Amino acid sequence: MRESQEPFIRIRDLSFAYGQGEARKEVLSQNNMELYPGELVIMSGPSGSGKTTLLSLIGALRSVQEGSLKVGGDELKDFDTRALLYYRRKIGFIFQHHNLFPALTAFESVRMALDSSDLPATERNSRTREILERLGLSHRLNNKPDSLSGGQRQRVAIGRALVHRPSLILADEPTAALDKETGRNVVDLMKELVRSKGSTALMVTHDSRLLDAADRIVHMMDGRIVSNVLVAPVVDAATLLRDSGLFPGSTPSEFLEVAQKMARLRYQAGETIITFGEEGDRFYVLREGEVEVETGGPTAPKVVGTIQRGGFFGERALISREPRAATIRARGPVEVYALDKDDFDAAIARTKTFQDQMLSVIFSRS
Ligand SMILES: Nc1ncnc2c1ncn2[C@@H]1O[C@H](COP(=O)(O)OP(=O)(O)O)[C@@H](O)[C@H]1O
Ligand SMILES: [Mg+2]
């Protein structure tokens, strides 16, 4: 779905083990992932599934053992000391367990992250004040860690990680110790950096209330990325599926599950999407553009109508198992969501089961 842009981070067959010999334990197995500029990725997964380990590899806190981890096209393994230093400076880390210097005030802790920048002192001070204000700490600027609550300390650590506007944000459950509103502020701050500066953010969280901020959601299980979903197109496809009325009674999570299996395809003006007489192999929902419907086959072709966004086609041949009864052609540039026959059959079958279940509930009541 993305072809024009290069990823900032590209991971291929990345594996990682702790310990050696008898004690060796593989905790990451053959992972693949891209992180693009301008996206906020949320990572979830059970405790012990390898999320923190993956973050520490991306952040160059641990060395790559097996597989490839590229930063801006270059293998991280090959970075020399200088390149590593430069890379780490571009990262804003937010750890689960922050480690603030006991002797520094909130203000000093955050401003210290700007020490290596070439900004004038006034600018450093104003940026520091600004971010602490955004994090609701204006009244705590001169407090040291021992006179701050756990949540306040976490917010200082977040300020310190973000004040230098990093290109890469690696955040490990940053909002776990925060209330709902402050958690939201933190995510908004990250989102702003991602949008305005084209930074990349990878955030581990279990807070489902924050999912709407994600451009992509990655799920980790037993050392493996088991799903990696681009949110907006999947939500869009799921909404169109729901509105199609073809799968009555399905739940949002069922629509999303089907939508995840759909491919986004593009066609040029004049291109044929479905050909009369052929076997049905896919179901389509129109995302953008307009297609025309031509019946009668090659002998007596006749355009009988058009379909716009939200309209669907291709389901008849799948349900009836008969050849395509029409040709569908793009009128201009067209984008569709396409679902393979097997996935379509499964979705329809489940809908039927659901309907049957509903009916039996109603019968058993009467
Ligand atoms: N420093 C370490 N030494 C040995 N094993 C570790 C170490 N850190 C983590 N592990 C183990 O690696 C697995 C993945 O841990 P982690 O990456 O912290 O997962 P998550 O962040 O998803 O909870 C767990 O089984 C954990 O016990
Ligand atoms: Mg962890």
Q: Domain segments of the chain: what residues?
A: 9-230, 233-360
CA of 8 to the centre of ligand 2 (A): 23
Tell whether the model's pLDDT for residue 165 goes beyond 70: yes
- pLDDT, one tens digit per residue, over 215-226 is 999 999 999 998
172: Cβ below 6 Å to ligand 1?
no
Q: Report pLDDT for 350.
A: 82
pLDDT at 357: 64
Among 53-57, 327-331, 347-351, the range scoring the smallest mean pLDDT is 347-351
Does the domain at residues 233-360 carry the CATH identifier 2.60.120.10? yes
Is the distance from the beta carbon of residue 221 to the nearest atom of ligand 1 less than 6 Å?
no
pLDDT for residue 2:
41
Q: Which CATH architecture does the domain made up of 9-230 adopt?
A: 3-Layer(aba) Sandwich (3.40)
* Nearest CA, atom 3, ligand 1: 18
User: How many other CB atoms are found less than 10 A from the CB of residue 337?
Assistant: 24
pTM: 0.77
Ligand 1 mean position to 61 CA, how many Å?
A: 14
Distance 27 CA to ligand 1 centre (A): 7
Does the CB atom of residue 55 touch ligand 1 within 6 A?
no
pLDDT at 224: 97
- Ligand 1 atom nearest the C-alpha of 25 is 5
Ligand nearest to the CA of 43: 1
Mode of pairing for the β-strands spanning 25-35 and 9-18? antiparallel
Q: Residue 58 Cα, ligand 1 centroid: separation in angstroms? A: 15
Ligand nearest to the Cα of 54, by number: 1
- How far apart are alpha carbons 55 and 59 in whole angstroms? 6
Most ligand 1 atoms within 8 A of CB, residue of 16, 24, 25 to mutate: 25
Residue with CA nearest ligand 1 atom 10? 18
Decide whether any atom of ligand 1 lies within 6 Å of the 223 Cβ.
no
Name all contacts of 49-54 with Cβ < 8 Å and 24+ positions apart: 49/220, 49/221, 49/222, 49/223, 50/16, 50/220, 50/222, 50/223, 50/224, 51/172, 51/204, 51/220, 52/96, 52/172, 52/204, 53/16, 53/18, 53/27, 53/28, 54/14, 54/16, 54/28, 54/220
Q: Is the pLDDT of residue 365 over 70?
A: no
CB of 206 shorter than 6 A to ligand 1: no
Residue 17 has pLDDT above 90, yes or no: yes
